[in-house]
Chains A and B, each alone.
Chain A
Amino acid sequence: MNVTLISGRSLGQAKSKVTGKFTEEYLRNVAVCELHPEDLKALGIAPGQNVRVSTKSGTVVARSAVASQASQRGVVFMPYGPWVNMVVPSETSGTGMPSLKGIEAEVTAAPNEKLLDLRSLVEQMTSGR
């Protein structure tokens, strides 16, 4: 499903990052992709099952959730963090600022794919793939 991806700060992300980035709480709050309930239905998965988010810059598995803040169909949200970084573009167009919001992305159901924890994710980032 083609969507617009928005990354941003969330209370859960903020609260868990000050608690510790290797905690369960951080993983639960940040390795997340929030979707409109209708979009979840369309993907044929239940909230909490994994989705794969892909852009021209990369791809990552995240836990799905119903958008806590009323979203519109076709717009998905991921909190700032290593997971969303796997799919955000690095181009800054001479501004120093990459586009961290309003990114064209594709979301697919991935109930059987593994959600990487922070260590394995960083390993994957740096393994040069």
Chain B
Amino acid sequence: MKEVTLTLKQELPVPVDAREISPNNFREKSVKDIEGLKIWTGNRQVALAEVFKVAVNSDGSDDEVRVRVVGNASKIRKIGYRTSSGCIVVEGNAGMYVGEEMSGGSIVVAGDAGSWLGMKMKGGQIEVKGNAGDYVGSGYRGTAIGMKGGAILIHGNAGQEVGCWMKDGTIRIKGNTGLMPGMHMQGGTVCIEGNCEGRAGAQMRGGKVIIFGKASKVLPSFAFEEIKDKIKIGEEKIQGPFYVFSGDMNEKGTGKLSVNAPNNPQLNWCEKYVET
């Protein structure tokens, strides 16, 4: 077990690309090695030690690496880039692109996380205690490949387009989300325990979007299917009733959009389609 603690020396005016901060990267590295790793602050490449105070606490074995980031890291980007094992704990806020291309291990952000959290994620787990920005679990612009696996849990709110182009894995948001969760979604599950600003599942081809709270309007390209008392997420059963829609028909989609019925009286128009 090896614990690497990175303490931010001071608030930074410019963005920092710290993709080096990953357990994979710190394995078999001494304090000196880690201090010497090069990161970008704006357009200057500097030693990691210029931005962070580095402390290593190890029992000699490197097989499990734990990274702590201390201080307000909201300008620090790409924490946990390509992490495949070990864990990272960000004790304050984190910047954009946390866990980009992550394939295993775990990342916990105690504060808020910036946009593109878990971008191109393939596996592993991310937990954010505060809020997250836009494009949680998305892909890079122009690709049709978002998050492919793993799990993201956000205790606060998330921004727009949660799970954009998502293929697999689960994203669970305890708070509210902005517009278009499940945009262009192809597989996996997006579960929103709070409210959603609207257009859930826009242009989705597959996968599940579940909204416990208010869903605003449902797009005209979703067909009402049935009313379900309960929805299963893994082992868990969620008490409904839920209006269940399928779509996006414009994409010949077979995605499922489930919206809590009692919280969304504006959708009761679809009850006239219930076969009795």
Chain A positions near chain B (C-beta within 8 angstroms): 93-94
Contacts and interface: CB of A to CB of B under 8 A. Distances in A.
Interface of B: 115-116, 133-135, 159-161, 178-179
Chain B binding surface, main DSSP class: loop
Given A94-B115, A94-B116, 11 more contacts: A93-B134, A93-B159, A93-B160, A93-B178, A93-B179, A94-B133, A94-B134, A94-B135, A94-B159, A94-B160, A94-B161
Contacts of A93: 134, 159-160, 178-179
B179 to A, nearest CB: 8
13 contacts: A93-B134, A93-B159, A93-B160, A93-B178, A93-B179, A94-B115, A94-B116, A94-B133, A94-B134, A94-B135, A94-B159, A94-B160, A94-B161
A93 B133 CA distance: 8
A105 to B, nearest CB: 18
Closest 8 CB pairs of A and B: A94-B134, A93-B160, A94-B115, A94-B135, A93-B134, A93-B159, A93-B178, A94-B160
Nearest to B197: A93
B92 to A, nearest CB: 22
Nearest to B114: A94
A19 to B, nearest CB: 39
Contacts of B135: 94
Contacts of B160: 93-94
Nearest to B96: A94
A94 B96 CA distance: 11
A94 B179 CA distance: 12
A84 B162 CA distance: 31
A94 B138 CA distance: 12
A94 B135 CA distance: 8
Nearest to B135: A94
A92 to B, nearest CB: 9
B32 to A, nearest CB: 38
B138 to A, nearest CB: 9
A53 to B, nearest CB: 24
A104 to B, nearest CB: 13
Contacts of B159: 93-94
Contacts of A94: 115-116, 133-135, 159-161
Contacts of B134: 93-94
